[in-house]
Amino acid sequence: MALRADVSCVIPVRDGERYLAGAIESALAQSLPLREVIVVDDGSTDCSVEVAREFGVRVRCVQQDPAGPGTARNRGLALAGGALIAFLDADDLWLPQKIALQAARFEARPELDLCFGHAVNFWSEDVPPERRDGGAALLASWPGRSCITLMTRRSTFDNVGGFDPELAFGEDLDWFQRAEDAGCISEVLPDVLARRRLHERNLSRLRPEESREAVLRAARDLIARRRAAARDETRP
């Protein structure tokens, strides 16, 4: 039997039928196979569920009423059996070595809680050239403090808690900051581990003001938590 990583992959999706198969295929094509792939359909009105179920027993697909990305991630987390957890968005792709490289880091560093990597953006083939803004800098690799490059121990969620179900944007940034506040140990690998698809339905492109506000809100919440902690430390 081929060696498998004790890693669960959670893919939240809502109306992602166009790209979901590619995301799932990139998870199933890992050089070190996953323990499981869980797709959580967050109230899709398209054929996302049918796409996931075409993969048969290789993919577990569960459905829920539309409740947002945080709730979908938490649902997948509750079902996951792996000691390590990785997330993939339904329109993005993993490179084949992602799981092997990160699982090796957790084996080498028992104290490690979170492991990230680098990511690159790429334009979806269905976006015409005249609509591809941002220039070459947009396609350069970047250190991906993002769910698509994250791997973390299942036990870390016992310490930090799950994703905030009230956040329509920025639930990942909020969680990363709470993990940092909780003293979690993290590292960022120099390797490119994921490809983020740029297309005309990216939430950050469709609703840029809400996306920017989510980042600002996460920053404000972090400052508020740290100020509160500093006050508690100075109390007699």
**Per-residue model confidence (pLDDT) at position 87:** 98
Task: Give the predicted TM-score (pTM) of the model.
Answer: 0.86
**8 Å CB contact between 8 and 34:** yes
Q: Report helix, strand or coil for 202.
A: coil
**8 Å CB contact between 172 and 141:** no
**Domain spans of the chain?**
7-168+183-200
Of 52, 54, 47, 22, the residue nearest 37 (C-alpha) = 52
**Per-residue model confidence (pLDDT) at position 187:** 97
What Rg do the C-alpha atoms of the chain give, in angstroms? 18
- The position carrying tokens 């990583």 is 5
Question: Tens of pLDDT along 123-179?
Answer: 988 888 877 877 777 888 999 889 999 999 999 999 999 999 998 888 999 999 999
CATH classification code of 7-168+183-200: 3.90.550.10
- The position carrying tokens 């808690």 is 161
- The position carrying tokens 């939430």 is 203
**Per-residue model confidence (pLDDT) at position 199:** 79
Question: pLDDT under 50 in the chain at which residues?
Answer: 1, 205-208, 210-211, 214
